[in-house]
Amino acid sequence: MKVVILAGGFGTRLSEYTKLIPKPMVEIGGKPILWHIMNHYARYGYKDFVVALGYKGEVIKNYFLQYYSLGNAFTIDLANNHAEYINEHPVDWRVTLVDTGQGSMTGGRLKRLKDVIGNEDFMCTYGDAVSNVDISRLVDSYHRSGKKAIVTAVHPTARFGELQLDDDGLVRSFKEKPQVNQGWINGGFFVFNPVIFDYIEGDQTTLEREPLERLAVEGELASYRHDGFWQCMDTVRDRDLLNKMWEEGNAPWAK
């Protein structure tokens, strides 16, 4: 099953970094968040990736073109431009990089991949969020549901500290930026039947609007409830938080 990663957005709320690189290339612990997402899928055996490019897509292309040489020691014979690798550490991923347009919306990017994906079920997620969602259980839930699509529902992280107060005004508990216990949001990590392409009109279709709303109305959108870790990287604060977790050895998405 292929894994589609939507990696074409502008990342305007991370403009400190995205003036030069696309959002999925912003690093956590010296590796792009895109790599962290792919590595998570690979741990479950899903290693056939299709990356939907847009804004500064050439940066992502160059990263993967140089991935092998930068990740291994080598001797190069400049006379014939032949490189001989030393103690190689190959990565058995297959990565397809497709330009899906600068101005395409999420649904439009997905539809442009129709011929690459073919007539088979596939997974899809965003290039800016990490999680410890159990991919095997997600796929199993999709198959058991018998629906055309499944979305991972997650609890968002509170922006501010959560207080629980008693009737006397005393603070009964204090949690600094916990995950909200009530309410679910779209956390990405989808599985789709290829019929999803029929729900997308064109480049300006937003996946999260007409296609998913219509599937929900038709009773064809299942949910996989994930109570564990999930964190998007929308702001510099999010980026700093994820890097701090990595540096402290407390990165749930990498375990």
In a structure prediction context, what are the per-residue pLDDT tens digits for the chain, which is 255 residues long? 999 999 988 777 777 777 888 999 999 999 999 999 999 999 999 999 999 999 999 999 999 999 988 888 999 999 998 889 988 888 899 999 999 999 999 999 999 999 999 999 999 999 999 999 999 999 999 999 999 999 999 987 765 455 555 676 555 555 555 555 557 889 999 999 999 999 999 999 999 999 999 999 999 999 999 999 999 998 999 999 999 999 999 999 998
Rounded Cα distance, 53 and 98, in Å: 6
Give the pLDDT score at 175: 55
Single-letter amino acid, residue 180: V
Alpha helices in the chain (DSSP H): 15-18, 33-43, 57-65, 67-70, 106-111, 114-117, 135-145, 210-217, 236-247
pTM of the model: 0.88
Dihedral sign, Cα of residue 28, residue 30, residue 32, residue 38: negative
pLDDT of residue 113: 97
